[in-house]
Amino acid sequence: MKFQDEYRDRELVQGLAAAIAEEARQLPEPVRLMEVCGTHTMAIARFGLKSLLPEQVKLVSGPGCPVCVTPVSYIDHAIALSGLPDTVITTFGDLLRVPGSNSSLMAERAKGADIRIVYSALDAVKLALELPHKRVVFLGVGFETTTPTVAAAILSAEQQDCANFFVLTSHKTMPGPMQALSADPLLQIRGYLCPAHVSTVIGADAYRPLAEKFGIPCVVTGFEPADVLQGVLMLVQQCRAGRAAVENQYSRAVSNQGNAKAQELIRRVFEPADAVWRGLGVLPDSGLVLRAAYAGYDAARMLPVELPPAREPAGCRCGEVLTGRIAPKDCPLFGSVCSPETPVGACMVSSEGSCAAAWRYGCPE
């Protein structure tokens, strides 16, 4: 198939759903499968794919939304930087409304802070060149998909002698959190729909140690209804056969080795470090920080600020939603205190958040 509509064909989707139901009838016990990609979460909700699955197959959302897993302390740091004189904060739009301990970037902008939405890190470099008497800070949040673009922006700033450009990094890597989730016996995850965008960079082979160590099947899956359902079918088939392999349903975009140039960009500019994930705590070597050679672009090092003690929103259960422990509707704030208009947690703010998907599409759990 070549065109998007072909992956949304009703008969094809219904046929895949019937095949899943047939395979599921032969399972020795029900299985919980997890998608760890925010775009998958939205696609599953948008197309109502959970309603097509048999009761033996439960699909839950994991920590696949980079904005959602970013800790409150990072938002507090960005807000503190926005209070510095002659400082411009640049960010993708999703971060603006994420609550910090005491405020949000949007609230600070309303008070007069210079906080601007950009569409790439290179836009922030361009702005820094246009405003040589200002310090321009880009909020670097994302997984391996966006990290190479931030690395390229730093190299571009270096090439152009742009000394007033900085990055506040909160880059994270897969499949570190997948390993942490796999090691939790209470979650009982039996298979993963692996993140497709991330996999274009790191490649399908990156999940082989996970499958081998924990005996959990992994399938790299695309975003259309037929993609997702075929990925679920492949996982159910592995579960029924007692196999735990890495399979690549999304071969039209993902290779086993991934994007070597993007990987080299990441290695050149960043190095692994421990990172805090909402809902998972500190995961060793699951984050990326700037190497010493690029310390001059590190906002955390070059622009010291005083930070308040990080405080999670009272009653918010985003961490449990992100790890599949509860569904969005099980949070007592969902749909009452917490809504897209008045979000309490990051999962309701982000366009890839599980709570935002549940609110918008009313997906069943």
Per-run averaged pLDDT (10 residues), the chain, 365 residues: 80 96 96 96 95 96 94 97 98 92 95 97 98 98 96 98 98 94 94 97 97 97 96 98 97 96 98 96 96 98 94 91 94 91 90 92 69
Q: How many CB atoms lie within 10 A of CB 163?
A: 14
pLDDT value of residue 365: 55
pLDDT value of residue 8: 87
pLDDT value of residue 363: 59
Decide: pTM greater than 0.85: yes
pLDDT value of residue 188: 94
